[in-house]
């Protein structure tokens, strides 16, 4: 399927990196609520990879748009140019293996017009080659973000899609059901949304399920012949679900504000329990 070009295996990356047109490598290691990724990057990363800070460069400061609003395009564009990203040059993004942060960078680059972007399937854990502590100084790229190449939802669009199409909630099932809420103001989900945890996109080896398995999973959830959108807590893990949908050949929109934005407004409805679908 065409969506398979959204990911790359470690062996394919090793071959391309040694070839005549090596991709720009971005290290986006990040752990929600955990330590910063920069020290892990400095302790060892793929040769040539540039570290990208999710909180500072792939998101705006928390506010009305949620905990990880879309970044200021000037900040994002400058970070990508500094990393060597240029129009027409392939980019490969990786993280520690969960796929959330790498998918956020993938989605932002695709949304803002960079066509050849892939995520290292399984992240750094799949890489068997040498790592380095050398921090590269790539030539400045010419990337200029032009948003609009990937579909995006606001709160009103997410609410409409929950009724007229399929809105997937990528968080853990217990958060969707409203049993726990460790971060946001209130527990529960957007009325009409369907639970679809990101963990079910992955195989035991940490890589994405085959495209056919992902297609079957999402079609069973209702993603056939209808518009699809995805949200999570703050728009990060939802990007991984959109990547999984891309692999399956199913286009989907991101509700970037996600539950952190939705639940901050007391006038918006909240549903709990297992849902109706």
CB-based burial of residue 180 (10 Å sphere; 0-12 exposed, 13-18 middle, 19+ buried)?
Answer: exposed
Catalytic residue selected from 6, 70, 232, 254: 232
* Residue (of 251, 260, 238, 98) closest to 168 by Cα position: 238
Tokens representing 177?
A: 């059901």
Contact 99, 202 (CB under 8 A): yes
CB-based burial of residue 270 (10 Å sphere; 0-12 exposed, 13-18 middle, 19+ buried)?
Answer: middle
21-32 b/e (C-beta count within 10 Å ≥ 16 → b) = eebbbbbbbbee
Tokens representing 150?
A: 């990937």
Measured torsion, CA atoms of residues 43, 237, 197, 160, in degrees rounded to the nearest 10: 180
How far is residue 12's CA from residue 33's CA, in Å, rounded to a whole number? Answer: 32
Tokens representing 268?
A: 């918006």
The yes-or-no answer on residue 158 being catalytic is no
How far is residue 223's CA from residue 245's CA, in Å, rounded to a whole number? Answer: 9
Residues 6+ apart with CB under 8 A from 147: 73, 111, 112, 113
Tell me the catalytic residues. Answer: 232
């Amino acid at each position: 399927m065409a969506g398979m070009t959204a990911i790359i295996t470690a062996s394919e990356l090793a071959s391309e990196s040694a070839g005549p047109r090596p991709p720009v490598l971005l290290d986006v290691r990040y752990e929600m609520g955990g330590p910063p990724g920069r020290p892990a990057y400095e302790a060892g990363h793929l040769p040539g990879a540039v570290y990208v800070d999710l909180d500072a460069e792939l998101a705006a400061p928390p506010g009305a748009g949620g905990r990880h609003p879309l970044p200021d395009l000037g900040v994002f564009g400058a970070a990508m140019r500094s990393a060597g990203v240029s129009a027409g040059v392939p980019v490969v993004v990786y993280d520690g293996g969960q796929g959330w942060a790498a998918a956020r960078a993938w989605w932002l680059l695709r949304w803002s017009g960079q066509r050849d972007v892939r995520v290292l399937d399984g992240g750094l854990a799949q890489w068997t080659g040498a790592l380095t502590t050398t921090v590269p100084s790539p030539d400045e790229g010419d990337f200029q973000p032009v948003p609009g190449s990937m579909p995006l939802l606001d709160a009103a669009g997410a609410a409409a899609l929950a009724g007229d199409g399929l809105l997937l909630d990528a968080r853990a099932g217990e958060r969707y059901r409203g049993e726990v809420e460790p971060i946001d103001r209130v527990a529960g989900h957007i009325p009409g949304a369907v639970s679809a945890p990101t963990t079910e996109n992955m195989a035991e080896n940490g890589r994405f399920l085959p495209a056919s398995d992902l297609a079957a999973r999402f079609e069973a959830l209702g993603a056939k012949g209808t518009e699809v959108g995805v949200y999570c807590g703050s728009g990060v893990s939802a990007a991984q679900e959109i990547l999984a949908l891309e692999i399956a050949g199913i286009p989907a929109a991101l509700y970037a504000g996600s539950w952190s934005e939705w639940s901050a407004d007391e006038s918006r409805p909240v549903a709990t329990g297992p849902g109706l679908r």
